[in-house]
Structure 1
Amino acid sequence: MNQAHIHLLVNHLPIAGSLFAAVLLGVGLLKRDASLSKAGLVAVLAAGLLCWPAQLSGDGAAAVVQGLSGTSPALVQAHATAAELAFWTLEATAALALFGLLLLKNASPKARLLAWATLGAALLSFGLLARAGSMGGLIRHTEIREGLDRPI
């Protein structure tokens, strides 16, 4: 198993995790359910942690695919740039979630407002992560690249 295998195994976790966390947090906030909101904030933290293996295996995966025929260095670079932005956005979102949990623990009246901000950031993180994942798929899946004639 090489870095590309590891990257392919773990890169879906933060994408799905951030969506799950956003849905959980959103439902908790809309229902005004403190337990669900807290679970959503914890899920955001988990998604932030799950993003680390994907980020750390990215350079190794890029090194593996650089030598393969049909691999576009421009696509690899575009994916890496998008992935880094998504990674840091999710990490900032996880920091918001941690701060929100601390406010909840201290029964701060600002906890709910911060939870709403965390939800917005989690949705942004999901969008950026999904975009980075899609761009990563373009590297080796030529069938999904733009400009190819394909029957409908």
Structure 2
Amino acid sequence: MNDAHLHMVVNHFPIIGTILGLGILIVGIILKNNSVKNTAYALFIVAALFALASIATGDGAEELVEDMPNIGKRIIHEHEEIAEKLAIVLYLLGAISILGIVLNLKNNSKAKFISFVAVIVAIVGTYLTILAGTSGGEIRHTEIRDDAITTKVIPNSSPTNEINEGDGK
């Protein structure tokens, strides 16, 4: 397993974990349920750890694919820039989540405020996950790029390419 494969394995959880965590945290706030909020916080912490793994494998993945046809350094650089911003936001969200869990366990009066801060940071994180996921997908999936070239395939109707099965030739 090389860095590109490892990168593809770990890079989905920061995206999924952040989006799911945001939804769960909002439900926890609405229900005023600290257990539900702590579940969201745990997801955010795991998402931050997977972001660390994604960043750690990103350079190796870049080295393996940057010279492939239709890839290029520009699109990888754009993805890397967004991913670095996302990682910082997720590290911050992970730290806020640790604080949120501690405050919830101590029934601290600031726990509610921290949950709202976490929602705001998670919204920013969710926005960046969409950008990072899309730009990462564009690296190998040229069909989803804004500058994708659509080509029409015209079947070759030349009789020289047809096989005549009936005459045994």
Q: TM-score range by the shorter chain?
A: over 0.9
* 1:28 equivalent in structure 2: 28
C-alpha distance after superposition, 1:36-63 (max 9, x if no partner):
1121112211211121211110000000
One-letter code of the match for 2:143? E
* 1:75 equivalent in structure 2: 75
Higher relative contact order (CA 8 A, sep 6+): 1
Percent identity, aligned pairs only, is 29
In structure 2, the gaps of 5 or more residues are: 152-169
For 2:43 and 2:76, the matched residues in 1 are separated by 29
One-letter code of the match for 1:9? V
* 2:8 equivalent in structure 1: 8
- Which TM-score applies when normalising by structure 1? 0.93
* 1:49 equivalent in structure 2: 49
Number of residue pairs the alignment of both structures matches: 151
Contact 1:18 1:47 in 2 (8 A): yes
Higher-Rg structure is 2
- Which TM-score applies when normalising by structure 2? 0.84
Shift of 1:145: 1.2
For 1:17 and 1:127, the matched residues in 2 are separated by 13
One-letter code of the match for 1:104? N
For 2:51 and 2:147, the matched residues in 1 are separated by 31
One-letter code of the match for 1:77? H
* 1:142 equivalent in structure 2: 142
Shift of 1:150: 4.4
In structure 1, the gaps of 5 or more residues are: none
Shift of 1:149: 4.9
Which shifted more, 49-58 or 87-96? 49-58
The ranges of structure 1 where at least 4 consecutive aligned residues each deviate by more than 2 angstroms after the TM superposition are 147-151
Q: Superposition RMSD on alpha carbons, in Å?
A: 1.4
For 1:36 and 1:140, the matched residues in 2 are separated by 37
* 2:40 equivalent in structure 1: 40
- Structure number having the greater helix percentage: 1
One-letter code of the match for 2:25? L
For 1:62 and 1:44, the matched residues in 2 are separated by 26
